[in-house]
Amino acid sequence: MSSTGDGKETESRQERPAQPDGIVYVAPESLLSGTSGRNISLYELWRALWGRKAIVVAVTAVSCLASVAYAVFATEIYRAEVLLAPAEEASAPAIGGQLGGLAALAGVEIGEGSSVEALAVLQSRDFARDFIEHSNLLPVFFPQEWDAAAQRWLTDDPAKAPDIRDGVRYFHDSVLIVDEDRGTGLVTLAIEWTDPEVAAEWAGALVRRLNDRLRERALVEAQTNVDYLQSEMASTSLVTLQESIGRLLESELQKLMLARGNEEFAFKVLDPAAPPKYRVRPKRTVTVVLGTLLGGLLSAFFVLLAYAGRAEAAR
């Protein structure tokens, strides 16, 4: 009998996992009881909400009133849009194919102009800076900091007064929107402002200034190329080279003629800007509905959170 008992004791010791000396493992109460705590039923949650319905209704009503006040008194913003198409630069593909190597050596560009440059200029800081300074828009962008009577900034510290960098950032972040449809190549230029008439005026002015700037740049480049080609033609005696330079010269003269007589040099206006009738924001109905729902959901959440805290403390 003793040997049998000793054998069972040995087996039980072998089956029992070894525990480090000095460490006692105590099972959590939740594991011993087989549950992680008392479950809260939906009925209890409903009773908690119903018992605090006055708080939920009050918070929801306040949120609704705040949404209505914001929707009524918020600054109305209008959007004026211009639909643009890239203007095709008149050039002969045949000339470009035959004289591409010579044109590259001479520094002359042959081929159709791309809208990439025009879009880059339109969205550049330099173009925005020029437009803001020409139209004196800094006081318009920051009216709260401008003394209209004295025609000066309210602060005497130049470091705190808005400068052209602030104006460019505000213009790009809050006023100008440029969207390109890569499938069709069409570009939508939009101006968002509080006055619909001013928004349409700025949109049209931006397109005109963009076309003027790129046309002037093209005129300077084309004239430089013409002068260079004329000097090269005068310095060479090879007939074939003179003929090639002559065709290049003809292309550059054609560019000069088109640039001087074409006001829509970079972009053609397909749909000019018109003063919008309806605002783009605030959307009053959506604002009130979302504000009311948000207030109701938040109030219900905090009521349930407080109930769960009290239930946990009572345990």
Expressed in angstroms, the distance from the first to the final Cα of the chain is 52
Quote helix, strand, coil % in the chain, to nearest 5. 60, 10, 30
pLDDT at 60: 93
Residue predicted with more confidence, 3 or 308: 308
Neighbours of 60 (CB within 10 A): 20
Query: Which of 109-118, 182-191, 207-216, 222-231 is the least confident region?
Result: 109-118
pTM: 0.69
Residue predicted with more confidence, 34 or 56: 56
Residues counted in the chain = 315
The alpha carbon torsion through 231, 236, 242, 245 (nearest 10 deg) reads -40
